[in-house]
Amino acid sequence: MVAGDPDFFRRLEAQQAPRYLWIGCSDSRVSANVISGLAPGEVFVHRNVGNVMANADLNALTVLDFAVSVLKVEHVIVVGHYGCGGVAAALDGKGHGLLDNWLRHVKDVAAKHARTLDALPAGARADRLAELNAIEQARNVCHTSIVQEAWAGGHPLTVRAWIYALHDGILRDLRFLVRGQADLQPAYRLSLGEDG
């Protein structure tokens, strides 16, 4: 980087002004900067197993608040991925120790959409749950007081849900795009398609 842009690190050190908050999975194969093609300093990142946005997770809420209130990001993107080990563990019916407490959030999404998931072949369930989980977690972001207050205050903030495919490296839009409270239910129904 220094050879191509000698001032890169000096500019990077001077300020952090990302336009995006990426809420993604901890999976080591799913790096926000690599997948998005954005340089360091262009995307603020929060990662956990299963890209969960739980309303009682102080860590995730603090990241969201800092990104929205301090950094003034314009886009919050919840990104799930196919082949997610957390999603697979939520479906496998086995015990996973402490992880089960965290996976409760993903299992709740599976229970909510059980009819849809049960209608799919076994091999397709985890991929569909990864999509549904990204949508539901993006919806959770929209319901936070942080985002609600930002919208009420006129902050131009968009919340999206995407899914990343490890097999081809493509980010896919899940059709969940919300720019304010009025968009939430229509975007949610659109993103669920026949599930809505």
- Which residues carry out catalysis? 25, 27, 29, 81, 84
Q: Which of 113, 148, 112, 135 lies closest to 190 in space, CA to CA? A: 135
Pair 55, 65: CB distance under 8 Å: no
Those residues with Cβ within 8 angstroms of residue 25's Cβ, 6 or more apart along the chain or in another chain: 47, 48, 49, 50, 51, 79, 80, 81, 84, 86
